[in-house]
């Protein structure tokens, strides 16, 4: 089970995931710039090495360049995050979460339908 | 094992010698030398303690062998080797199977017993030592681990990219390229740096003003850049190994202190006035906000204890960039120390570690290291490596283009190039080029060589920048095309890398639009460092004038003074300073404080401590301490910067401030006097009170007689005593007590040892009978010594004549008239070095006392050049008298048997120095300067001929007067860098230029 990561680290993970799970450092910087986050080089390196420490990324070398590979898929991450959310706020009960979402109308009818199907497949 | 222990013991002994020298140097060095030097010079001691290499035949090494091994030698000598292989005592190595001598054999029990006991004792001691070292090491490591774990448990990463970005930018500014982790741990007692390989800064809180964040991080990053943690661990290793040696513990404490001070100094170097103030504020706040977790040995913290903190604040308030004088003095001391350390058996590294890479006119003394491009090679070459270091390197002869050849030395990494024709050809061409430079090259050392044929210069420059390799960067930068150069410059500016920036600027064309643009940015951003680099290297005279007008109009004093400095308009710069000063003086006068030079008076009393904390412009704190003063005052200012009040400082505040000031220099100005009879003697109108040695005075006060004094009388004290804390000398009127009112009093607030009060006054009060006293307000006073000289008014003026700066400047113009610039420079250098040499010997070797004995080996300084002997070292355990009596030896025979010569280097014997003086004299036109030099020459000759201390002392006094009172103005040029200016202000009256 991977640890918690900060919002800024998540930003970097999203870039790596969006690049198909593997990205060069230069690509990450470029993508950050596109979203208006002109972070300093050392800031990004620090955040990336924290992600490596936490087991979210693996780092390899292509020549002198660093290549980062996601060690956790986006789906796995979301699942674990949901699980921890459920554990934290709803005492392990996913039903309470869904109920809460429906009450706040945070789930559309289509979302709900998809959820139901997913649930039943899981049951089967 | 006992072999290892013996090695450690021997290292401990020789290391202690180096530590002692450094500790003794402390008080002098503290005032004059950069903190950085004071910090790194300790490496000499650490290296000595850790590295078991020694030049052959060093005194400590041989001594130690001698004291450790005589018994074994004696035993082996007396036993005629009854070979009994397989039966030898277990602690001795198996002898080679040649039937050679076996030191101990069980067949001779009478001889074995003592040797065996010896062995057992050594084994026992070794085991004790090893046990101690291991326990200590384990404790240090676990303490660090616990500490680190504790911190880690309570800390969290800082994930705010705004803070991380700020950290990265400050890192670039501080020259730390690698990423540094940032944590926050509310339990930590102070911000700190952790981690040798992966540096982490731990803050105590994130909610702090942006400036505090900046300075805190800047401080920690500076530790990181300088690898202070590695240094600390090295020191801890020495402590573990030498745990039994209290000096090593003392050394560790001193290094810790020096580390923080040097770090502050390095940070301050980049800050201007108000920023410095803010930095000090931050230190205080950090101390206040401290949590509960203390520092461990393996971390570098921001603030550790109150006393050190005070010293750091004082240093910040009085921070001055190291002057060339101080740098030169550092060098002289470094050379002296390295020589001393080598003589004591210390490890002397290659010259690179010691000397400052600074170019100066007397470059022959300076080790320099620079990068050069000589197609197709990029060389990093050092020259003027020390003669002694040459044997550490491989060497080859390189042909010179104009014919002949030169010996070149190689670092291990590139010694292979000696056989490479292309490389050697390039090197020859480079040497030919360098030899035509104004600074002569001797003993070049190739540090690195790299064939860069076909490499992309831009990529290389980028790489060298990333690696922090300044010399290589400097060599490659001119090879870049114009666009690449400009892009690089812009990047360097953004990164805040001053060193690389200034290197690159040297190659930018004058009038470059980029330079103008950057200068504009620096001006707007208040970045004075970059601004001064830019205008100095690129602006034309006309542009400088435009800038100057603008800075003046904007009222930006910092920039105005930088520009005036660049334009060499010293007079206007002085005027600017004088104007600021005059404004201040008027302001003080309006509040009852008169300022005259460095002296402040308040209500007709001389001020001892004067403290004015201003915040308006760059000069934000004035702290003046005048030991002659009697009253302590402080200036308070309102929010608008105007003075609101001048008030007395309460005594607790004043004492706290004084207690943390550096100790006064004892010995620096110790006059060379001969004993004179006790009691008051009248001579030439002056009354000299020679104080007899007084035993302990119970009530803490000694009365030394009654005297009739009148206003204008000159009074000079030189009194020392062994007392408790605080020694005071002065006069009181009639039967009054020193507690009520005292006149011309001098206080020395040190805490222990021999205290000395030396000073002179013009008597200010009304005529009458006064009593002279010496007292120790907080303890018994004992062993009082010294003299008090009272010279009646009128006769005083001539005796205490000290030339004023105007007189000096006028006399100097006359004295140096008709000489060329380089002749003046040469004269200056020679006299200064000779004077500093004497003062150094005076201080550390008590040379005049040594020279009182005509047979003293110190006279070798006059008689010989090169390696000379100045004394004998012998094992301190031996009592010379006992040994001489027992073995019927004379002192000389004792030294021959047990002593090791103490050897040092001497560059000039009397004959050579006389030749040098003759050469100088030939360049001088002024008759009075000539006669001064001839006087020195004659005194040198007489000293050498008669081995007479008086003549040697005369030589020193004349050199001193020339150095401080003709060639520079000691009180103004050197005075600001010392707290006690008494030596510098001392004029011996040897120069005829000042007599009418």
CATH number at residue B703: 2.60.120.40
* Residues of B with Cβ-Cβ distance to A41 under 8 angstroms: 168
- Mean pLDDT across the stretch B698-715? 76
- Measured in angstroms, the CA of A40 and the nearest CA of chain B are apart by 5
Q: Quote the number of domains for chain B.
A: 5
Q: Between B309 and A4, where is the model more confident? A: A4
* Residues of A with Cβ-Cβ distance to B462 under 8 angstroms: none
Whether the CB-CB separation of B504 and B179 falls below 8 Å is answered with: no
- Mean pLDDT across the stretch B77-93? 37
Task: Using a pLDDT cut of 90, give the percent of chain B over it.
Answer: 3
* Residues of B with Cβ-Cβ distance to A46 under 8 angstroms: 164, 168, 179-182
- Tokens 């004269």, located at residue: B827
Q: Which residue of A has its CA nearest to B164?
A: A43
Sign of torsion over alpha carbons B5, B7, B10, B16: negative
The pairing of beta strand B621-625 with beta strand B445-451: unpaired
User: Which of B251-260, B402-411, B593-602, B735-744 is least confident?
Assistant: B735-744
The pairing of beta strand B768-775 with beta strand B727-733: antiparallel
| Nearest-angstrom CA–CA distance, B426 and B669 | 54
Which of residues 81 through 100 in chain A touch B, CB cutoff 8 A?
none
Tens digits of residue pLDDT in B676-700: 222 333 333 556 666 655 555 556 6
| Nearest-angstrom CA–CA distance, A82 and A96 | 13
- Which H/E stretch holds residue A66? strand A65-70
Q: Which residue of A has its CA nearest to B178?
A: A42
Indicate whether B245 pLDDT > 80: yes
Q: Where are the beta strands (DSSP E) in B737-802?
A: 743-748, 754-762, 768-775, 781-791
* Closest-CA residue to B768 (of B732, B740, B738): B732
Whether the CB-CB separation of B987 and B981 falls below 8 Å is answered with: no
Are B719 and B751 contained in the same domain?
yes
Task: State residue B939's pLDDT score.
Answer: 93
CB contact under 8 A, A37 and B161: yes
Q: Per the omega criterion (within 30 degrees of 0), is the bond before B353 cis?
A: no
Tens digits of residue pLDDT in A29-40: 888 888 877 788
**Is A74 in the B-facing interface, judged by CB distances under 8 Å?**
no
Are B787 and B820 contained in the same domain?
no
Q: Which two tokens stand for residue B215?
A: 């300075």
Task: State residue B193's pLDDT score.
Answer: 84
- Measured in angstroms, the CA of B631 and the nearest CA of chain A are apart by 54
| Nearest-angstrom CA–CA distance, B73 and B475 | 59
The answer to the question of residue B427 being in a domain is yes
The answer to the question of residue B939 being in a domain is yes
Task: State residue B936's pLDDT score.
Answer: 94
Are B652 and B748 contained in the same domain?
no
The answer to the question of residue B467 being in a domain is no
- Measured in angstroms, the CA of A49 and the nearest CA of chain B are apart by 10
- Confirm whether the ipTM is greater than 0.95: no
- Mean pLDDT across the stretch B20-45? 75
- Tokens 């931050």, located at residue: B282
CB contact under 8 A, A42 and B164: yes
Task: State residue B606's pLDDT score.
Answer: 83
- Measured in angstroms, the CA of B178 and the nearest CA of chain A are apart by 7
Domain boundary among B799, B821, B838: B799
* SS3 readout for B20-33: HHHHHHHHHHHHHC
Are B848 and B988 contained in the same domain?
yes
Task: State residue B551's pLDDT score.
Answer: 86
CB contact under 8 A, A7 and B182: no
Measure CB to CB from residue B159 to each of A6, A37, A49 and give the nearest one.
Answer: A6
- Measured in angstroms, the CA of A42 and the nearest CA of chain B are apart by 5
The answer to the question of residue B582 being in a domain is yes
Whether the CB-CB separation of B774 and B702 falls below 8 Å is answered with: yes
Domain boundary among B799, B827, B849: B799
| Nearest-angstrom CA–CA distance, B115 and B220 | 55
**Is A45 in the B-facing interface, judged by CB distances under 8 Å?**
yes
- Mean pLDDT across the stretch B493-501? 76
- Mean pLDDT across the stretch B945-959? 91
**Is A42 in the B-facing interface, judged by CB distances under 8 Å?**
yes
Give how far Cα B181 sits from Cα of A4, A59, B290, Å.
18, 18, 21
- Radius of gyration of chain A from its Cα atoms, rounded to whole angstroms: 18
Task: State residue B527's pLDDT score.
Answer: 72
CB contact under 8 A, B168 and A50: no
Task: State residue B286's pLDDT score.
Answer: 65
By residue count, chain B amounts to 996
CB contact under 8 A, B157 and A50: yes
- Measured in angstroms, the CA of A104 and the nearest CA of chain B are apart by 30
Domain boundary among B317, B337, B370: B317
* Residues of B with Cβ-Cβ distance to A7 under 8 angstroms: 159
Are B954 and B830 contained in the same domain?
yes
Are B585 and B600 contained in the same domain?
yes
Measure CB to CB from residue A43 to each of B157, B164, B178 and give the nearest one.
Answer: B164
Give how far Cα B986 sits from Cα of B473, B664, B726, B990, Å.
48, 16, 25, 12
Task: Using a pLDDT cut of 70, give the percent of chain B over it.
Answer: 69
- Measured in angstroms, the CA of B194 and the nearest CA of chain A are apart by 16
- Mean pLDDT across the stretch A69-80? 86
pLDDT band at B541 (very low <50, low <70, confident <90, very high): confident
DSSP B558: H
- Tokens 């007489």, located at residue: B942
Q: Which residue of B has its CA nearest to A48?
A: B179
B190 alpha carbon, distance to own chain's centre: 28
CB pairs under 8 A between A and B: 43
Tell me the residue range of the domain where B394 lies. 350-454
Q: Which residue of B has its CA nearest to A40?
A: B165
Task: State residue B24's pLDDT score.
Answer: 80
Task: State residue B118's pLDDT score.
Answer: 67
CB atoms within 10 A of CB B23: 15
Measure CB to CB from residue B161 to each of A8, A41, A49 and give the nearest one.
Answer: A8
A71 alpha carbon, distance to own chain's centre: 11
Q: Specify the 3-state DSSP secondary structure of B668.
A: coil
B475: Cβ–Cβ under 8 A, 6 or more apart, which residues?
Answer: B370, B371, B372, B373, B378, B379, B380
- Mean pLDDT across the stretch A83-106? 71
User: Which of A77-81, B250-254, B385-389 is least confident?
Assistant: B385-389
Are B705 and B784 contained in the same domain?
yes
Task: State residue B942's pLDDT score.
Answer: 92
Task: State residue B443's pLDDT score.
Answer: 77
Sign of torsion over alpha carbons B77, B82, B83, B89: negative
- Measured in angstroms, the CA of A29 and the nearest CA of chain B are apart by 14
| Nearest-angstrom CA–CA distance, B9 and B15 | 10
Task: State residue B105's pLDDT score.
Answer: 39
Are B606 and B740 contained in the same domain?
no
Measure CB to CB from residue A40 to each of B159, B160, B165 and give the nearest one.
Answer: B165
- Mean pLDDT across the stretch B816-844? 83
CB contact under 8 A, B182 and A46: yes
* Residues of A with Cβ-Cβ distance to B180 under 8 angstroms: 42, 46
CB contact under 8 A, A46 and B164: yes
- Mean pLDDT across the stretch B886-905? 80
The burial of B901, by beta-carbon neighbours within 10 Å (0-12 exposed, 13-18 middle, 19 or more buried), is given as middle
Domains, chain A, ordered by start:
7-70 (1.10.10.10), 74-123 (1.10.4040)
- Mean pLDDT across the stretch B595-602? 78
- Mean pLDDT across the stretch B20-40? 73
Are B375 and B403 contained in the same domain?
yes
| Nearest-angstrom CA–CA distance, B700 and B697 | 6
Indicate whether A88 pLDDT > 80: no
Q: Which residue of B has its CA nearest to A10?
A: B159
- Measured in angstroms, the CA of B508 and the nearest CA of chain A are apart by 28
Task: State residue B978's pLDDT score.
Answer: 59
User: Which of B288-297, B556-565, B908-917 is least confident?
Assistant: B288-297
| Nearest-angstrom CA–CA distance, B816 and B953 | 25
What rounded mean pLDDT belongs to chain B?
Answer: 72
Q: Where are the beta strands (DSSP E) in B133-286?
A: 156-157, 181-184, 192-194, 200-203
Indicate whether B326 pLDDT > 90: no
B62: Cβ–Cβ under 8 A, 6 or more apart, which residues?
Answer: B900
CB contact under 8 A, B161 and A45: no
**Is A41 in the B-facing interface, judged by CB distances under 8 Å?**
yes
Are B825 and B793 contained in the same domain?
no
DSSP A103: H
Sign of torsion over alpha carbons B131, B134, B138, B140: positive
Q: Which two tokens stand for residue B939?
A: 């005194």
* Closest-CA residue to B633 (of B597, B613, B609, B659): B609
The answer to the question of residue B537 being in a domain is no
Are B696 and B637 contained in the same domain?
no
- Mean pLDDT across the stretch B746-757? 63
**Is A37 in the B-facing interface, judged by CB distances under 8 Å?**
yes
Query: Which letter, b or e, does each residue of B188-207 get, where b requires 16 or more Cβ atoms within 10 Å of its Cβ?
Result: bbbbbbbbeeebbbbbbeee
CB contact under 8 A, B169 and A6: no
User: Which of B150-164, B490-504, B702-716, B782-796 is least confident?
Assistant: B782-796
- Residue B680 backbone dihedrals phi, psi, to 5 degrees: -85, 135
* Residues of B with Cβ-Cβ distance to A42 under 8 angstroms: 164, 167-168, 171, 178-180
CB contact under 8 A, A47 and B164: yes
| Nearest-angstrom CA–CA distance, B534 and B562 | 11
pLDDT band at B943 (very low <50, low <70, confident <90, very high): very high
Q: Between A94 and B213, where is the model more confident? A: B213
Measure CB to CB from residue B179 to each of A6, A9, A42 and give the nearest one.
Answer: A42
Q: Between B640 and B563, where is the model more confident? A: B563
Q: Between B574 and B593, where is the model more confident? A: B593
pLDDT band at B65 (very low <50, low <70, confident <90, very high): very low
Which of residues 4 through 23 in chain A touch B, CB cutoff 8 A?
6-9
pLDDT band at B754 (very low <50, low <70, confident <90, very high): low
The answer to the question of residue B179 being in a domain is yes
Indicate whether A86 pLDDT > 80: no
DSSP B802: -
Query: Which letter, b or e, does each residue of B336-367 get, where b requires 16 or more Cβ atoms within 10 Å of its Cβ?
Result: bbbbbbbbbbbbbebbbebbbeeebebbeebb
B945: Cβ–Cβ under 8 A, 6 or more apart, which residues?
Answer: none
- Tokens 């060389």, located at residue: B379
Are B643 and B738 contained in the same domain?
no
* Residues of B with Cβ-Cβ distance to A49 under 8 angstroms: 179
Whether the CB-CB separation of B129 and B8 falls below 8 Å is answered with: yes
- Mean pLDDT across the stretch B210-225? 85
CB contact under 8 A, B161 and A39: yes
The pairing of beta strand B200-203 with beta strand B181-184: parallel
How far from each other are the two terminal CA atoms of chain A, in whole angstroms? Answer: 25
Tens digits of residue pLDDT in B839-872: 877 766 778 888 888 888 889 889 888 778 887 7
Q: Which residue of B has its CA nearest to A5?
A: B159
**Is A64 in the B-facing interface, judged by CB distances under 8 Å?**
no
Task: State residue A15's pLDDT score.
Answer: 92
CB contact under 8 A, A50 and B169: no
| Nearest-angstrom CA–CA distance, B489 and B765 | 65
CB contact under 8 A, A40 and B182: no
- Radius of gyration of chain B from its Cα atoms, rounded to whole angstroms: 32
Q: Which residue of A has its CA nearest to B180?
A: A46
Indicate whether B941 pLDDT > 90: yes
- Mean pLDDT across the stretch B334-362? 33
Measure CB to CB from residue B179 to each of A6, A9, A45 and give the nearest one.
Answer: A45
pLDDT band at B917 (very low <50, low <70, confident <90, very high): very high
- Measured in angstroms, the CA of B502 and the nearest CA of chain A are apart by 23
DSSP B323: P
The answer to the question of residue B25 being in a domain is no
The answer to the question of residue B887 being in a domain is no
Measure CB to CB from residue A41 to each of B159, B168, B180 and give the nearest one.
Answer: B168
Interface of chain B toward chain A, CB-CB under 8 angstroms = 157, 159-161, 164-165, 167-169, 171, 178-182
């Amino acid at each position: 089970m991977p640890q918690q990561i900060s919002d800024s680290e998540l930003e970097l993970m999203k870039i790596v995931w969006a690049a198909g799970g593997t990205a060069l450092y230069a690509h990450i910087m470029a993508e950050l710039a596109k979203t208006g986050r002109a972070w300093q080089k050392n800031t990004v390196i620090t955040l990336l090495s924290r992600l490596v420490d936490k087991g979210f990324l693996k780092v390899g070398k292509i020549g002198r360049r660093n290549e980062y590979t996601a060690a956790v898929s986006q789906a796995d991450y979301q699942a674990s995050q949901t699980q921890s959310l459920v554990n934290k706020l709803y005492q392990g009960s996913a039903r309470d979460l869904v109920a809460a979402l429906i009450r706040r109308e945070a789930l559309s009818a289509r979302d709900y339908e998809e959820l139901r199907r997913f649930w039943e497949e899981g049951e089967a | 094992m006992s072999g290892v222990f013996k090695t450690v013991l021997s290292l401990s002994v020789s290391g202690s010698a180096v530590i002692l020298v450094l500790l003794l140097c402390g008080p002098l060095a503290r005032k004059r030398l950069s903190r950085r030097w004071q910090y790194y010079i300790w490496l000499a001691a650490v290296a000595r303690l850790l590295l078991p290499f020694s030049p052959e035949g060093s005194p400590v090494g041989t001594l130690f062998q001698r004291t450790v091994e005589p018994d074994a030698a004696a035993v082996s000598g007396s036993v005629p080797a009854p070979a009994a292989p397989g039966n030898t005592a277990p602690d001795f190595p198996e002898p080679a199977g040649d039937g050679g001598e076996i030191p101990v054999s069980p067949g001779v029990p009478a001889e074995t017993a003592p040797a065996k006991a010896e062995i057992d004792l050594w084994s026992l001691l070794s085991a004790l030592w090893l046990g101690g070292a291991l326990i200590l090491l384990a404790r240090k490591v676990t303490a660090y681990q616990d500490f680190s774990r504790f911190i880690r448990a309570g800390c969290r990463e800082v994930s705010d990219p705004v803070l991380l970005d700020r950290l990265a930018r400050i890192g670039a500014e501080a020259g730390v390229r690698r990423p540094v982790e940032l944590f926050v741990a509310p339990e930590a007692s102070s911000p700190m740096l952790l981690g040798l390989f992966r540096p982490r800064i731990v803050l105590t809180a994130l909610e702090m003003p942006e400036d505090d964040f900046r300075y805190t991080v800047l401080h920690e990053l500076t530790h990181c850049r300088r690898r202070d943690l590695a240094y600390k661990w090295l020191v801890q290793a020495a402590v573990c190994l030498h745990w039994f040696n209290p000096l090593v513990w003392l050394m560790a404490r001193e290094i810790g202190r020096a580390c923080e001070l040097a770090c502050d100094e390095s940070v301050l170097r980049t800050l201007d006035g108000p920023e410095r103030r803010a930095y000090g504020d931050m230190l205080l706040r950090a101390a206040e906000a401290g949590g509960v977790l203390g520092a461990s040995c393996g971390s570098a913290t921001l603030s550790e204890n109150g006393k050190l903190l005070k010293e750091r604040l004082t240093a910040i308030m009085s921070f001055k960039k190291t002057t060339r004088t101080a740098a030169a003095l550092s060098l002289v001391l470094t050379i002296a120390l390295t020589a001393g350390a080598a003589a004591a058996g210390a490890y002397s590294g290659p010259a690179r570690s010691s000397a400052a890479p600074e170019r100066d006119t007397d470059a022959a003394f300076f080790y320099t290291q620079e990068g050069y491009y000589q197609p197709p090679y990029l060389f990093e070459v050092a020259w003027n490596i020390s003669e002694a270091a040459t044997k550490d390197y491989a060497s080859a002869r390189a042909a010179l283009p104009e014919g002949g050849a030169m010996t070149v030395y190689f670092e291990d990494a590139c010694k292979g190039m000696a056989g490479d024709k292309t490389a050697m050809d390039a090197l020859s061409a480079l040497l030919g080029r360098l030899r035509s430079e104004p600074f002569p090259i001797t003993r070049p050392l190739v540090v690195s060589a790299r064939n860069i044929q076909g490499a992309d210069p831009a990529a290389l420059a980028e790489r060298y920048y990333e690696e922090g390799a300044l010399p290589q960067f400097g060599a490659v930068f001119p090879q870049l095309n114009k666009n690449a150069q400009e892009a690089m410059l812009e990047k360097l500016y953004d990164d805040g890398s001053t060193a690389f920036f200034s290197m690159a600027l040297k190659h930018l064309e004058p009038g470059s639009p980029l330079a103008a643009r950057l200068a504009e940015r620096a001006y707007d951003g208040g970045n004075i460092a970059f601004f001064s680099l830019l205008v100095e290297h690129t602006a034309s005279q006309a542009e400088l004038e435009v800038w100057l007008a603008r800075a003046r109009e904007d009222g930006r004093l910092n920039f105005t003074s930088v520009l005036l400095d660049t334009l060499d308009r010293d007079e206007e710069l002085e005027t600017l300073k004088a104007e600021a000063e005059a404004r201040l003086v008027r302001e003080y006068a309006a509040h009852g404080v008169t300022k005259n030079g460095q002296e402040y008076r308040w209500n007709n009393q001389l001020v001892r401590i004067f403290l004015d904390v201003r915040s308006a412009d760059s000069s934000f704190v004035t702290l003046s301490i005048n030991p002659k003063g009697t009253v302590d005052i402080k200036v308070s200012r309102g929010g608008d910067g105007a003075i609101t009040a001048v008030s007395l400082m309460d005594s607790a505040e004043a004492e706290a401030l004084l207690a943390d000031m550096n100790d006064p220099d004892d010995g620096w100005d110790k006059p060379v006097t001969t004993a004179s009879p006790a009691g008051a003697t009248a001579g030439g109108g002056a009354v000299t009170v020679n104080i007899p040695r007084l035993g302990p005075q119970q009530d803490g006060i000694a009365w030394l007689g009654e005297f009739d004094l009148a206003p204008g009388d000159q009074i000079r004290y030189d009194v020392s005593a062994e007392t408790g804390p605080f020694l005071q000398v002065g006069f009181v009127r009639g039967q009054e007590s020193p507690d009520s009112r005292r006149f011309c009093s001098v206080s020395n607030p040190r805490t222990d040892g021999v205290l000395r009060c030396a000073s002179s006054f013009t008597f200010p009060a009304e005529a009458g009978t006064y009593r002279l006293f010496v007292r120790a307000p907080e303890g018994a006073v004992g062993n009082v010594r010294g003299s008090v000289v009272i010279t009646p008014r009128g006769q005083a003026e001539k005796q205490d004549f000290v030339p004023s700066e105007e007189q000096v400047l006028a006399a100097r113009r006359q004295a140096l008239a008709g000489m060329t610039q380089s002749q003046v420079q040469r004269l200056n250098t020679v006299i200064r070095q000779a004077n500093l040499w004497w003062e150094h010997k005076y201080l550390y070797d008590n040379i005049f006392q040594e020279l009182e004995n005509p047979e003293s080996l110190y006279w070798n300084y006059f008689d010989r050049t090169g390696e000379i002997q100045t004394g004998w070292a012998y094992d301190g355990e031996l009592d010379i008298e006992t040994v001489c009596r027992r073995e019927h030896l004379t002192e000389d025979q004792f030294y021959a048997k047990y002593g090791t010569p103490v050897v040092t280097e001497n560059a000039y014997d009397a004959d050579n120095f006389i030749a040098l003086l003759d050469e100088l004299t030939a360049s001088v036109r002024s008759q009075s300067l000539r006669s001064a030099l001839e006087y020195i020459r004659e005194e040198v000759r007489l000293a050498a001929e008669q081995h007479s201390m008086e003549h040697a002392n005369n030589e020193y006094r004349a050199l001193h007067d020339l150095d401080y009172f003709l060639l520079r103005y000691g009180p103004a040029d050197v005075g600001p860098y010392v707290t006690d200016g008494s030596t510098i202000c001392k004029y011996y009256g040897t120069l005829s230029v000042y007599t009418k």
